Structure 1
Amino acid sequence: MRAARFHGKSDIRVEDVETPKIKERDEVLVEVLWCGICGTDLHEYMVGPIVTPVDPHPLTGATLPQTLGHEFSARVVEVGPDVEDVSVGDRVAIMPAIVCGRCRFCREGLGHLCVRFACTGLSAETGGLAQYAVLKEYQVAVLPDSVSDVEGAVVEPASVAAYGIDRVGIHGGDVVLVTGAGPIGVLSALYADALGATTVVIAEPNPNRAALARAVDVGPVLDPTDAGFADALADLTQGRGADVVAECSGSTPGLTTAMDSVRTRGKIVQTGLHTKPATLDAMRLSERDISYVGSWCYLITDWPRIIRMIASGKYPVAKAVTTQIGLEDVVTKGFDVLVNPTGDQLKVLVSPTAGRA
């Protein structure tokens, strides 16, 4: 089969590899339908290896080269003899986390904090940027007919966004500010809207990304570098500031905007990942009694809930998808476009079968 494999910094190759096979009784073989390119994938491409294992991973034994792709929808083509929850032919969304089930965090229902955490498409034998992948039964969730293959591929980043908002919680009537209009930022805005936020504001300095965010039509999109930003936000919040801020840019300027914009005793969740230390005004945090909370991944049991929200139409995650390409173009039309500072795309989905006989 064809697979996009990460060999090292700036080195992703679409090459022929052996089709994976079921080895354990609780495994599922799937044919990939659509797979998203994630910010984590981009970090690996630009400066990696970071989380892709150079030495054998302690849980999976995987090492480079790594087939990438952890945001994907698929169709089940074979199941192991102990599999009960899915059948051949089912369309599924993939929960890519691989956990030990034995450590303290796994036993407390916090598998996303597993001490031996691994991930399909980052530190495992297979990934979604390939024609086929093998998963554990707990990693696949059946999609209802009302959820498309494209939406199924966005369940993973939609769950990241949802978990971030859930970490701080919002109430009906809250004003929510999202800093950074990347895919996670846009999905965070859509989720906050679904939960009943009165106003959702997106702060994005990149004019191309800002235009894409406006097209999603979830709320005002403002440039945080504009001299009138603070006044515009004050008008939207009656001078109080945002009740909740989801910091999705993973940058010091984004965090500064969050700190300057949240109301006294408001809440900030750090959803965007910082790849280097950030500067934080800790005195402001204390003086204004602000809650600043981290967010990592998602609850690995959350797929059915997120899928139900998508199926209801309340969480329109497909709005974050801006381009769909074939696997052979994954570097030139996917990775290279997404790492371009002009940032004229949100979520790029890749089909391993598009353009093939």
Structure 2
Amino acid sequence: MKAVRFYGKEDVRVEDTSPPGAPGSKQVVVKPLVCGICGTDLHEYAAGPIHTPLHKHAFTGAVLPQILGHEFSATVTEVGQDVTRVRQGDRVSIQPLIMPMDDYYSRRGLNHLSPRMATAGLNYPWGGLGEYAIVNDYNVNKLPDSVDDQQGALVEPAAVALNAVERAKVHGGSSVFIAGGGPIGALSALASAALGASTIFVSEPNAQRRKQIEALGVTTMVIDPKSEDIFELLREKTEEGVGVDSAVECSGTEAGLNACCGVVRNHGTVTQVGLHVRKALVDPALWAQKDLTIEATWGYPITIWPRIIGMIERGIFPVQKIVTSQIPADLIVEHGFKRLLDPDNNEMKVLVRMG
């Protein structure tokens, strides 16, 4: 079968590899339909291996070269004898986290925090950028007819965003500030709107992305942090100048995190979701003075999939709005990785059409 495989820094190949065999009793063979290119994939391409395994993964046994792709929809082609949740022909969205189901964290419903956790498309033998993949029965979530393949592939990044926004305590009538207008920042704006936020501010230095965020139709204001004073602006735009109720840091930068802590009101909540590539200089004295809650998030609870699929089906979480391109797998290096890593690119979210 054809697959997109990662070998090392700037070394991604579209090549033939062996297809999966028959599924185990609680496994499912799927044929990927649409797969998103994630920021994590870009980090691997530009500077990896980071999460991809140079040596056999302790739980999954995966080792480079790695089939990429952890944001994907698929069609079920074969099920194990003990699988009852789906059947052959069902369209599904893949929840890609794979971990022991009986360790300390999983027994407490925190499966995504297991130290042995792996991710399809990163450190598991199969991924969404192959013609076929094997996953576990708990990885598949059936899609209703009204949720298309593209939307099904976007449930994974939407899960990151919704978890972050909920951890920031966003609810009906909330005011929210989001630092970073990339795919997760855009989805965080859509998630905030879905939860009933009344005012949504997004900070993004890239002019093209500011236009894309505005086009979502849910923001109150999109701010250029290079030319505007975020702190003064949000004091003017909030009641008595106190700041916003919640802030979500999606840029993975020191400046973004400190901006969130600066614009949130006293006793507000800041959620860190963007992955920082270096240590940040922060001001914990300010956190204490303002009595802030700082929430750091990693991934999402694996139980979040049905909720997001339901929100998409109802039309309140239009995740497809962030998509700017769909490409075939053969063009993934030139039109996917290289284009997305170009600082002057006009892309928000690139999806890969499989098959």
Check conservation: 1:224, 1:257, Cα contact below 8 A: no
Structure 2 residue identity aligned to 1:43:
H
Once the two structures are overlaid, the 10-residue window that deviates more, 9-18 or 253-262, is 253-262
Secondary structure of 2:302's aligned partner: coil
2:45 is aligned with 1:48: no
Q: How does 1:194-209 map to 2 (within 5 A)?
A: 194-209=194-209
- Deviation track 1:328-354 (CA, whole Å, cap 9, x = no partner) reads 00110001111112242111100122x
- TM-score (structure 2 length as normaliser): 0.97
Deviation at 1:231, TM superposition (A): 3.2
Equivalent in the alignment of 1:36:
36
Check conservation: 2:178, 2:202, Cα contact below 8 A: yes
Equivalent in the alignment of 2:246:
244
- Deviation track 1:257-299 (CA, whole Å, cap 9, x = no partner) reads 1122111111100011112111211111111111111000000
2:274 is aligned with 1:266: no
Identity in percent: 47
Check conservation: 1:189, 1:218, Cα contact below 8 A: yes
Equivalent in the alignment of 1:314:
316
Distance in 2, Cα, partners of 1:86 & 1:35? 20
Distance in 2, Cα, partners of 1:137 & 1:187? 27
Equivalent in the alignment of 1:79:
79
Equivalent in the alignment of 1:227:
228
Distance in 2, Cα, partners of 1:277 & 1:39? 19
Equivalent in the alignment of 2:259:
257
Check conservation: 1:206, 1:343, Cα contact below 8 A: no
Structure 2 residue identity aligned to 1:36:
G
Check conservation: 2:168, 2:247, Cα contact below 8 A: no
Deviation at 1:242, TM superposition (A): 1.2
Structure 1 residue identity aligned to 2:295:
V
Equivalent in the alignment of 1:349:
351
Secondary structure of 1:116's aligned partner: coil
For structure 2, the residue ranges without an aligned partner over 5 or more in a row are none
Secondary structure of 2:327's aligned partner: strand
2:154 is aligned with 1:154: yes
Distance in 2, Cα, partners of 1:224 & 1:264? 22
Distance in 2, Cα, partners of 1:233 & 1:328? 45
Distance in 2, Cα, partners of 1:67 & 1:310? 28
Check conservation: 1:31, 1:75, Cα contact below 8 A: yes
Q: How does 1:140-151 map to 2 (within 5 A)?
A: 140-151=140-151
2:283 is aligned with 1:281: yes
For structure 1, the residue ranges without an aligned partner over 5 or more in a row are none
Distance in 2, Cα, partners of 1:236 & 1:19? 56
2:285 is aligned with 1:295: no
Distance in 2, Cα, partners of 1:168 & 1:246? 7
Check conservation: 1:77, 1:88, Cα contact below 8 A: yes
Secondary structure of 2:61's aligned partner: coil
Structure 2 residue identity aligned to 1:39:
G
Check conservation: 1:93, 1:143, Cα contact below 8 A: yes
Distance in 2, Cα, partners of 1:68 & 1:243? 38
Distance in 2, Cα, partners of 1:124 & 1:171? 36
The CA RMSD over aligned residues, in Å, is 1.1
Distance in 2, Cα, partners of 1:237 & 1:223? 18
Deviation at 1:159, TM superposition (A): 0.4
2:132 is aligned with 1:132: yes
Distance in 1, Cα, partners of 2:344 & 2:216? 19
- TM-score (structure 1 length as normaliser): 0.97
Count, aligned residues: 353
